[in-house]
Amino acid sequence: MTRPFRFGVNLLNPAPAGEWRAKCRRAEELGYDVILVPDHLGWVAPFPALVAAAEATERPRLGTFVLNAGFWNPALLAREVATTDSLTNGRLELGLGTGYVRAEHETAGLPWGSPGERVDHLRRTVEELKRLLASPEHRPRPVQQPGIPLLVGANGDRMLRLTAEHADIAAFTGARSAPKNSSGELVPITADELDERVALYRKLAAGREEPAELNLLIQIVAVTEDPVPVLQPLLENQPQLTMEQALALPIVLVGTLEQIVERVRAQRERFGFSYLTVLEPYMEAFAPVLEALRGE
């Protein structure tokens, strides 16, 4: 069964109260279904930002995209999650990941760990959160029962297994960390590589009672008849790509409005991505695409 589209915007930039609420209201006016916030040092603090977003809006869901599990103790995180779900009247969607920027851990005085150790920590966090929030004795209590929707951002094999076991929303990054680089630099993956990742996830999730919603984070959006100036910075940063290859990346939506709308439909058909997230700088640019696909 084809899922209807949902669209989210990840608001990255800190702002004073009035400005923050204004851009949340603008996201709602444009028709976004989910207002999201990241979890990086120097950007917005996730939970107070979502509570403020809830006060400024009525309809959108509110989510973390995604929390860095390495920043959080599960018991303290459960308190934050339950409180935020209560203060947003049950609109919270909890996104979790391992974190991928070593410098942030060092700045915070937190252990970095190997990739395997970070996945292990995320698994413990997910399992402990589920246990705590499901307990009738846990205080505070979340509004949403039997649980708050869980999104896990994944790409590697072990992460996809964890996602298949626990996540209500499987979020694919469409990129991987650059080899031997812990600065947060990401390398985009091709459509064929993403096919393989989605296929592995589907295999691992074959025994689920309810299929997860599939999400993709879009990195570049531009409605234009001339993609060259839009994609030139990407090509300079990723010299292995040609212009044709850049246009074909699943995380790139550049072209005329009609071309982008058909591309989004085609990617849902090919990969199953019914939930797309765009970054704050592209909130306005993506709005005509969202409008054209509303209700599909």
Amino acid occupying residue 184:
G
What is the predicted pLDDT for the residue at 175?
86
Q: At what angle do helices 191-204 and 157-166 cross, to 10 degrees?
A: 50
Range of the domain at 197: 6-293
Angstrom CA distances, 253 to 22, 28, 68, 157, stand at 26, 22, 27, 27
Indicate the SS3 state at residue 206: coil
- 201: confidence class by pLDDT, cuts 50, 70, 90: very high
Question: Within a domain: residue 143?
Answer: yes
118-141 pLDDT, tens digit per residue, is 999 999 999 999 999 999 999 999
What is the predicted pLDDT for the residue at 183?
56
CA 11 to centroid of chain Cα atoms: 11
Question: Within a domain: residue 250?
Answer: yes
Question: Within a domain: residue 138?
Answer: yes
Question: Within a domain: residue 1?
Answer: no
Question: Within a domain: residue 199?
Answer: yes
CATH number at residue 130: 3.20.20.30
Residue from 134, 131, 100, 96 nearest 115 by CA: 100
Q: E strands of the chain, at which residues? A: 6-10, 34-37, 61-64, 67-68, 92-97, 150-154, 169-172, 175-177, 186-188, 213-218, 220-223, 252-255, 273-279
Angstrom CA distances, 136 to 94, 122, 139, 145, 146, stand at 20, 24, 8, 11, 11
Contact 86, 143 (CB under 8 A): yes
Question: Within a domain: residue 184?
Answer: yes
Bridge partners of 277? 8, 217
56-87 pLDDT, tens digit per residue, is 999 999 999 999 999 999 999 999 999 999 99
Residue from 5, 86, 4, 80 nearest 46 by CA: 80
Question: Within a domain: residue 121?
Answer: yes
Q: Report the predicted TM-score, pTM, of the whole model to 2 decimal places.
A: 0.96
Question: Within a domain: residue 85?
Answer: yes
Tally the domains of the chain: 1
